[in-house]
């Protein structure tokens, strides 16, 4: 009996020694495979674009809020009608609720906010940023921070960012883009529009619906304080995403031409312009009434509008 016990204890000791050795081997192995990756580049190399499915949202009160947040992103102008001042949804730009890599994705945002924005000289929370799009892109009102709607949008954005570590460098963020475009021709842009865009966005730019072909100009579109009102932002977005399903097919010239054509039309005016960008001035490529006047009388400086610092 005593011998039996000794043998068992002996095996246990040997076994744990072996496991200890195995673990240290594995750690050693993984150290040697990850070390070169870290020295080659930044942490962004290791973050993959892998949005979770809305189908996998768990049951229960948190899950209900996440799903409500998703519905709000997809059908903003109907569900949150009282706050929205045009005929757009968040998904009109943040394709499929921000889950498409080239369509202004919203994956990873809870890892990077709050964020300091030098131009405004202000620390922005995620709520501030959502409300930035509410008063500009949605031409509407701010959603109160303690409302069911704002909580749901935040819950949804947290769900989208699950597993992405705080402070991570998010390689697909739209805000990082900076690209040089050639000087546009509005006449050529009109042809591109008629041929490749009007079928979904309508010949008069009024759109066919927030998620089938959103309004690109006129009273149901975003206002002239929106990110999309910046010529190179619009051109970059269009080139990567449009025509829907054929992103990457337009040349730089076609993309800037059609963006200039779209932005040459009237749209709602943002009411807070005079207080905008207190530090660093208005971006040079914002297309507003003043610039549209310059297009009409031929004095617009296109060169300055395509040479912008973001």
Binding string, residues 91-110; x marks residues near ligand HEC by CB under 6 A: -xxxx-------xx-x--x-
Decide whether 26 or 162 has the Cβ nearer to ligand HEC: 162
**SS3 assignment, position 16:** helix
Q: Check whether the bond before 212 is cis (ω within 30° of 0).
A: no
Among 129, 240, 267, 291, binds ligand HEC (CB under 6 A): 129
Residue from 134, 155, 260, 300 touching ligand HEC (CB under 6 A): that is 134
| Of 289, 307, 138, nearest in space to 232 by CA | 307
From candidates 47, 65, 76, 150, binder to ligand HEC by CB under 6 A: 76
List the interface residues with ligand HEC, window 241-270 (CB under 6 A): 241-244, 258
Sequence-distant (6+) residues with CB within 8 A of 32 are none
Burial (CB < 10 A; 0-12, 13-18, 19+), residue 218, is middle
Compute the radius of gyration of the chain from its Cα atoms: 25
Of 25, 212, 251, 289, which lies in the binding site for ligand HEC, with binding defined by CB under 6 A? 212
At 210, is the secondary structure helix, strand, or coil?
Answer: coil
Report the distance separating Cα 285 and Cα 135, nearest Å: 19
User: Minimum Å distance from CB 45 to ligand HEC?
Assistant: 19
Residue numbers of the site for ligand HEC (CB under 6 A)?
76, 88, 90, 92-95, 103-104, 106, 109, 129-130, 133-134, 137-138, 153, 173-175, 192, 196-197, 199-201, 211-216, 221-222, 226-228, 233-234, 237-238, 241-244, 258
């Amino acid at each position: 009996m005593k011998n039996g016990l000794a043998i068992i204890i002996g095996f246990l000791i040997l076994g744990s020694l072996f496991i200890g050795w195995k673990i240290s081997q594995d750690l050693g192995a993984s150290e040697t495979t990850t070390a070169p990756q870290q020295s080659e580049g930044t942490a962004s190399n290791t973050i993959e674009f892998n949005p979770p499915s809305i189908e996998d949202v768990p049951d229960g009160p948190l899950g209900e809020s996440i799903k409500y947040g998703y519905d709000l992103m997809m059908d903003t102008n109907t569900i949150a009608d009282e706050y929205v001042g045009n005929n757009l949804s968040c998904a009109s730009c943040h394709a499929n609720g921000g889950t498409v890599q080239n369509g202004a994705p919203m994956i990873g945002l809870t890892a990077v906010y709050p964020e300091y924005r030098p131009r405004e000289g202000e620390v922005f929370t995620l709520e501030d940023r959502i409300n930035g799009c509410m008063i500009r892109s949605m031409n509407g009102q701010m959603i109160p921070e303690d409302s069911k709607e704002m909580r749901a949008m935040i819950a949804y954005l947290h769900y989208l960012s699950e597993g992405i570590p705080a402070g991570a460098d998010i390689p697909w963020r739209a805000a990082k883009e900076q690209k040089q475009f050639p000087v546009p021709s509005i006449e050529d842009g009109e042809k591109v529009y008629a041929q490749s865009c009007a079928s979904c966005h309508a010949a008069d730019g009024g759109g066919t619906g927030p998620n089938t072909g959103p309004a690109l100009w006129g009273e149901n579109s975003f206002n002239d304080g929106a990110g999309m009102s910046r010529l190179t932002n619009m051109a970059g977005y269009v080139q990567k995403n449009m025509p829907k399903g054929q992103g990457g097919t337009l040349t730089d010239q076609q993309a800037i031409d059609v963006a200039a054509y779209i932005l040459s039309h009237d749209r709602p005016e943002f009411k807070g312009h005079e207080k905008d960008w207190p530090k660093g001035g208005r971006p040079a490529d914002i297309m507003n009434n003043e610039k549209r006047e310059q297009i009409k009388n031929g004095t617009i400086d296109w060169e300055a509008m395509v040479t912008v610092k973001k």
